[in-house]
Structure 1
């Protein structure tokens, strides 16, 4: 039997969606609530993948809607673990819109979510430290 080398937990998740008319507001752009739902889902997946635990959203911090996202555009949602506490993980989430015909991509929305890892009894539990090459100053 061979030993398995230590594996660094993945710190990023990417999702892709297409904006359909039922995702939009009266202006034909992505409804803010839909954007937040996609962002929270990416934060959840990034935190659960990193911690290998059940996680819940504790907080969403400043979400900046910089540019509108139109019906028919692809949206890439990127969630990255940027900070880790004892049981908490701060996840930066970006929404990047892409025009499927031209390939033009624009960062449209960015926000931060704090996720908490839970044990089997639904109590906060410790998560692995962020690797030194990923952790900020």
Structure 2
């Protein structure tokens, strides 16, 4: 198979999950900790994929739980690299539910994560600048 050359590093990751009872509280809605774990994973993947480096979470900011996520719903977790510093990447993450029967989608949770790229010795290292959006 011939590799596909990358012109610009990818800035987005999408993951899908189904909410099972073991992901929920006594009210049948997604545990906040589970939502944060999925969000951190998407932030990690988006930043690592963009930088092609090992990355770690430095900070999570302003996570807003707008709507409950219920057992049986599909959840799409979308992580987008939106800002880049010398070694840091800011990743916006959204949890969007989708009703598998009707196709109705709703933004339920949104947050921002700051990820740091590391070199082979575990020290912060530079990452490429974001491509210009004209």
- TM range, smaller chain: over 0.9
Distance change in 2, residues 1:103/1:119 (3 Å): same
Aligned position for 1:98 = 98
Aligned position for 2:126 = 126
TM-score, length of structure 2 as denominator length: 0.95
Structural mapping, 1:36-55, within 5 Å: 36-55=36-55
Aligned residue pairs total 131
SS at match of 2:22: helix
The whole-number CA distance in structure 1 between the counterparts of 2:33 and 2:101 is: 26
Aligned position for 2:60 = 60
Residue by residue over 1:77-130, the C-alpha shift from the partner in whole angstroms, topping out at 9 and shown as x without a partner, is 000000000000000000000111111100000000000000000000000001
Of 70-79 and 6-15, deviating more is 6-15
The whole-number CA distance in structure 1 between the counterparts of 2:6 and 2:51 is: 15
Unaligned runs of 5+ in 2: none
The whole-number CA distance in structure 2 between the counterparts of 1:45 and 1:5 is: 19
The whole-number CA distance in structure 2 between the counterparts of 1:52 and 1:108 is: 29
Distance change in 2, residues 1:18/1:5 (3 Å): closer
Runs of 4+ in structure 1 off by over 4 angstroms are none
Distance change in 2, residues 1:71/1:122 (3 Å): same
SS at match of 2:117: strand
Aligned position for 1:20 = 20
TM-score, length of structure 1 as denominator length: 0.93
The whole-number CA distance in structure 2 between the counterparts of 1:132 and 1:5 is: 19
Aligned position for 2:117 = 117
SS at match of 1:55: strand
Task: Tell me the C-alpha RMSD between the 2 structures.
Answer: 1.3
The whole-number CA distance in structure 2 between the counterparts of 1:65 and 1:5 is: 38
1:5 positional shift: 6.7
